Amino acid sequence: MKDISQATDLLELIGSAIEKLKTSIDLFSEDHPQRGVEELSLVLEEIDAYLTRIDEDPLLRLAPINPSELEQRLHGVEADLSAVIAGLDPADRET
């Protein structure tokens, strides 16, 4: 499995997540669902890692972004991605 990026700010997290989501779509299109699920899982891990450091994000000190609201929205993204992973994971569909 690939390393999790250590996004230091929201823009890095977004950029990394977009790249991994694009990669996962490509992998699903190429009939590599397990690798696509792994990429989606990496996005979840990156969001989790970012949330542990959200108070250190320098952008949130400069921009009018409410950290609590951002945290709630990121948890919503995590829930959505978890549902997608559960529906796509070949291991879950073999039962």
Residue 2 lies in a domain: no
In order of 3, 23, 43, 52, the CA distances from 9 in angstroms are 17, 21, 15, 12
Instruction: Tally the domains of the chain.
Output: 1
Give per-residue pLDDT as tens, 11-36: 999 999 999 999 999 999 999 999 99
* Domain range for 33: 10-93
| More reliable by pLDDT, 92 or 49 | 49
Residue 47 lies in a domain: yes
Give per-residue pLDDT as tens, 57-95: 999 989 899 999 999 999 999 999 999 999 876 565 554
